[in-house]
Amino acid sequence: MFARTYLNLLPVALLVWGLSHILLTESKEIYTTDLERIQLNGEIDIITRNTPTTYYIGPEGPTGFEYELATAFADHLGVKPNVIVSNEFANIIPAIGGQAANLAAAGITVTEARKKFVNFSDSYQGITQLVIYKAGNKKPRKIEDLKGVTVHVIKGSSHEELLEALHKEYDFLSWQSHPELNVSAMLEKVEAGEFEYIISDSNDYQFNRRFYSKIRKGFQISQQQSLAWIFPKSKDNSVLLAANEFLAISKENGFLKRLHEKHYNHIPGLNYAGAHTFRKHINSRLENLIPIFKQVANEHDIDWRFLAAVSYQESLWNPKAVSPTGVRGLMMLTKRTAKQLGIENRTDPIDSTKGGASYLLKIKDKIPERIAEPDRTWMALAAYNVGFGHLEDARVLTQKRGGNPDQWADVRESLPLLTQKEWYKKTRFGYARGHEPVLYVRNIRNYYDLLVWKYNESDGLKDSITRILPRVM
């Protein structure tokens, strides 16, 4: 009796279960979060802009502080980043407000006015706004010095917003907004004397001052502000919450620090005079040497611009250069090194460049392969300058001091300690002028950045991995 009743009820139970499953499935589809949809689709749409601090094409493809941080977030979510490049800054916030993308990673300052239209992530970088002018002109030191002149800003930027707020108290302020210009173009116009004053974020100024030797910092016109990602206004904050979690993890595990080191920390090594001289030497010396650098670079499968950067640090691109210690040529080879490499004429540009490239790669082969790039290259350069043994001593000291011996940012802090007896007496190879390789690497990184910016040979990559954000205003 019981069995028969159970069997009779089974089809009904199955029907009820089926309907419940359908309803639950439909309910789940209705209430799928934005984050779940992104992960189901396998892509996240990210808006950025083409500037040195956000996104640009480097020697190995797309790079930039914002780009690398945002694509790391995509990797954290297990999805592919779909990068959208906006040619006009003023389009970015309206595009996010209109949900044209999931987020914008474009060096955007957090302001109260913008909070009305978009949501902000937690901050990952602090900046201030600076008044920039051309060297040789009168330095502006306070807001009153802006009276009677036009200040130029990017349309839709926080700089425009700041001036609008200041105008209530300083009604003499006058400015012009430019929708078509980016940071680099603004700074170029200052250097050319077309704009008397502009406003720039401190990180943009810090990065770009190497490219424009005549720009100078006047005064800080704002308080400390925060950069953050922006998200559409929505009741569903699942993507925003995931981003905040990622940024917290990135701060805790040191990824954010390493990213900042990669893009900013080498910059102070090149002063204005050095940058100006470098740019002059590009025209007067480098152009004739480019075929040589390209030939040797192709033979060794390295970037010719990197080879040129090393050569400039060594000899200022002077094939006949001779140091007081007897090293010679474009790559300043010693007699001993040249003999080991089979180089007979150290002042021959091709022989010297081949010798320097071979020697540097031999040193790099000694660096443990587990060390990730670009740290492995920076350590090879340091060893090229100070000797492999001293580099190893610095790595040992780094570990003893609680740092990571496989990260250049930590090792470079230990190298100067090799000048101090309390530290070098604990090492195998003893005293070394440890400050020199730190400056050596920093300068080469600066020269390399400048050459990559001037001789950008990877523009074709842009269209294959990104799309351009259309005008939305």
**DSSP conformation letters of 313-330:** HHHTT-TT-B-TTS-BTT
Q: Worst-scoring range by mean pLDDT, 23-32, 106-115, 120-129, 188-197?
A: 23-32
For residue 230, count other CB atoms closer than 10 A to its CB.
Answer: 26
- Residue 130 phi, psi dihedral angles, 5° rounding: -120, 145
pTM of the model: 0.66
Q: Tens of pLDDT along 275-316?
A: 778 888 998 999 999 999 999 999 999 999 999 999 999 999
Band (454; pLDDT cuts 50, 70, 90):
confident
Q: Tens of pLDDT along 78-89?
A: 999 999 988 889
471, pLDDT greater than 80: no
222: left (phi over 0), alpha (psi -120 to 50) or beta: beta
Q: Which of the following is catalytic: 164, 314, 422, 457?
A: 314
3-state secondary structure (DSSP) of residue 103: strand
- Residue 110 phi, psi dihedral angles, 5° rounding: -75, 125
- Across 352-357, average pLDDT: 93
Residue 314: active-site member = yes
Q: Name the strand (E) or helix (H) holding 281.
A: helix 272-281
Q: Tens of pLDDT along 93-108?
A: 999 988 999 999 999 9
Both structure tokens of 438:
């730190």
Amino acid in position 173? L
